[in-house]
Amino acid sequence: MSKFTDDMRAEVARIVARYPEGKQKSALIPVLLMAQDACGNWLSPEVMDETAVLLGIEPIEVYEVATFYSMFNLQPVGRHVFEVCQTGPCMLKGCDDIIAHIRSRLGIGVGQTTPDGLFTLKAVECLGACGYAPMMQLGKHYREHLTPERVDAIIEECRNMSMA
């Protein structure tokens, strides 16, 4: 069964239209981002294979791109992914303490997902929010100026969202 709904196919057509005739391979990264968003925040082999068919390229061309860029999840992840920046400027502002706090609150290590499938914790490299450190990406947005209290509130917010 197709992983691409009619809406998604229409979006693929809109993306492909940004490029000159015959250059539809350029749509690959935007299409994979869109598909990942629509298909549970990860790229299954089926989604990647179908992307190849839609763009008229070989599956290997999709795999080599999907494995190169850090935003593509090739395994299922939790419903809420905490991507905490750990590069220099965030380190200066205490990101190690924030990561330690999240680990103890969620009872998982970096790279792990909680057994209920709600949270995944990732330590990532610079996200361009150095002046507002420590910070993390949560979905489409950044959460900045993190403190242990603020992290607790975010965890609560995510739990409430999942219950709603």
Partner 1 sequence: MSRKLLLEKADVPGIRGYDVYRQHGGYAAVEKALRMTPDEVVEEVKKSGLRGRGGAGFPTGMKWSFLAKPPGVPRYLVCNADESEPGTFKDRYLMEFLPHLLIEGLIASSWALGSNRTYIYIRGEYAWIVDILEQAIAEANAHGWLGTDIKGSGFDCQIYVQRGAGAYICGEETALIESLEGKRGNPRIKPPFPAVKGLWDCPTVVNNVETLAAVVPILNIGGEEYAKIGIGRSTGTKLISACGNINSPGVYEIDMTISVEEFIYSEEYCGGIAGGKRLKACIPGGSSVPILPANLLLRTAKGEPRMMTYEGLSDGGFQTGSMMGSGGFIVLDEDQCVVRHTLTLARFYRHESCGQCSPCREGTGWMEKILHRIEHGQGRMEDIDLLWDIQRRIEGNTICPLGDAAAWPVAAAIRHFRDEFEWHVIQPEACQRRNFGLAHYAEELVPA
3-state secondary structure 27-46: HHHHHHHHHHHHCCCCCCHH
**Site for partner 1, residues 77 to 96, rule: CB under 8 A:** 86-89, 91-93
Distance CA 97, CA 15 (A): 41
Rounded least distance, CB 56 to partner 1, Å: 11
In this complex, which beta carbon is closest to partner 1, that of residue 80 or of residue 93? 93
Task: By CB under 8 A, tell whether 99 contacts partner 1.
Answer: no
Task: By CB under 8 A, tell whether 116 contacts partner 1.
Answer: no
- Alpha helix stretches (DSSP H) within the chain: 6-16, 28-38, 45-55, 59-66, 88-92, 95-106, 148-163
Task: By CB under 8 A, tell whether 128 contacts partner 1.
Answer: yes
Token duo for residue 114? 């909680």
Task: By CB under 8 A, tell whether 58 contacts partner 1.
Answer: no
Among 84, 102, 127, 146, binds partner 1 (CB under 8 A): 127
Task: By CB under 8 A, tell whether 27 contacts partner 1.
Answer: yes
